[in-house]
């Protein structure tokens, strides 16, 4: 395995379409819940410990080789918002395209056949990590980091926030990213013996509610 593969996968320039999504930041900015660096950090912290943890655990479990179909169903049950399920599948399909070109693998091919409209993005991310020779911790870190880096870079554009301030907020979240990635990988290992129901199911009501409001806007900068 190459450790540097993690850098390729986690790079914001990896062509998987993530830049078109704000992770709920656009709705939160419009509602006045994110107004600057401090509220962005608190938004990211909340997202990290809820949908970020769930996504990281799904990715880690997929990286361990847990059945992607079972993981995808678990992701559906943990994503009540239809708008967020649609966004997750769209992102999953885009990631699968990029991943199959980058790290060709029979498992990625099988996943694309099973889910022609896209599987949930964290599941695809985990299978991709596996194809890249990475492990469950790597997949969990990558997914947990995406859960906060997406809203941070979107907020820089939405509020013309100083990029230094946004990056400093991400750096302050680093110790909590460690905790979440570790918890996600631990939960993923339990799935091997106990099934997908032991995956975390942490919910963030305002992310779910904001996603439905956002999907109803006629004009928006980000897809979700």
Partner 1 sequence: MTTAGVRATARIEAREDGRGGTSLPVLEGQGPLALRRVRGSGPEARVMLVGAMSGPLGGDHLTVEARVGPGARLRVGSAAATIALPGQAKGEARYDVRLDVADEGELHWLPEQLISAGGSELSVAARIDLGTDARLVFREEQVLGRVGEEPGRLTSRLTVRRDGRVLLDQELACGPGAPGGWDGPAVLAGHRALGQLVVVRPEFEREQPAARPLGEHAALTPLAGPAVLVTALAPDALALRRLLDAALSDLT
Which of 22, 102 has the CB closer to partner 1? Answer: 22
Contact 70, 223 (CB under 8 A): no
* Closest by Cα among 135, 124, 143, 136 to 191: 136
Among 11, 162, 178, 197, binds partner 1 (CB under 8 A): 197
H/E run at residue 153: helix 136-159
Of 98-106, 126-134, 162-170, 197-205, which segment contacts partner 1 by CB under 8 A? 197-205
Contact 43, 25 (CB under 8 A): yes
219 binds partner 1 (CB under 8 A): no
154: left (phi over 0), alpha (psi -120 to 50) or beta: alpha
CB atoms within 10 A of CB 31: 13
68 binds partner 1 (CB under 8 A): no
Question: Which residues between 122 and 181 bind partner 1 (CB under 8 A)?
Answer: 176
CB of 113 to partner 1, least distance (A): 20
55 binds partner 1 (CB under 8 A): no
Among 20, 168, 209, 223, binds partner 1 (CB under 8 A): 209
Our measurement of the distance from residue 198's CA atom to the centroid of its chain's CA atoms, rounded to an integer in Å, reads 19
**Footprint of partner 1 (CB under 8 A):** 24, 28, 31, 33-34, 39, 42-50, 53, 73-74, 76-78, 80-83, 85, 176, 197, 200-209, 211-213, 215-216
């Amino acid at each position: 395995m190459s450790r540097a593969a993690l850098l390729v996968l986690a790079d914001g320039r990896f062509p998987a379409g993530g830049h078109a999504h704000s992770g709920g930041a656009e709705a939160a900015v419009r509602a006045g819940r994110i107004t600057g660096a401090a509220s962005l950090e608190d938004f990211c912290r909340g997202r990290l410990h809820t949908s970020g943890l769930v996504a990281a655990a799904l990715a880690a479990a997929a990286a361990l080789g847990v059945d992607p179909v079972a993981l995808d169903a678990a992701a559906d049950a943990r994503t009540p918002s239809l708008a967020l399920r649609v966004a997750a599948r769209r992102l999953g399909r885009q990631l699968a395209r990029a991943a199959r070109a980058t790290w060709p693998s029979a498992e990625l091919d099988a996943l694309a056949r099973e889910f022609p409209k896209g599987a949930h993005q964290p599941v695809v991310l985990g299978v991709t990590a596996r194809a890249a020779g990475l492990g469950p911790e790597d997949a969990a870190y990558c997914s947990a980091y995406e859960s906060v880096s997406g809203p941070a870079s979107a907020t820089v554009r939405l509020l013309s926030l100083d990029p230094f301030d946004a990056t400093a907020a991400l750096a302050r979240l680093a110790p909590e990213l460690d905790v979440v990635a570790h918890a996600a990988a631990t939960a993923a290992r339990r799935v091997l013996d106990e099934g997908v129901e032991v995956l975390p199911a942490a919910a963030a009501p305002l992310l779910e509610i904001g996603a439905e409001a956002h999907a109803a806007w006629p004009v928006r900068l980000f897809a979700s």
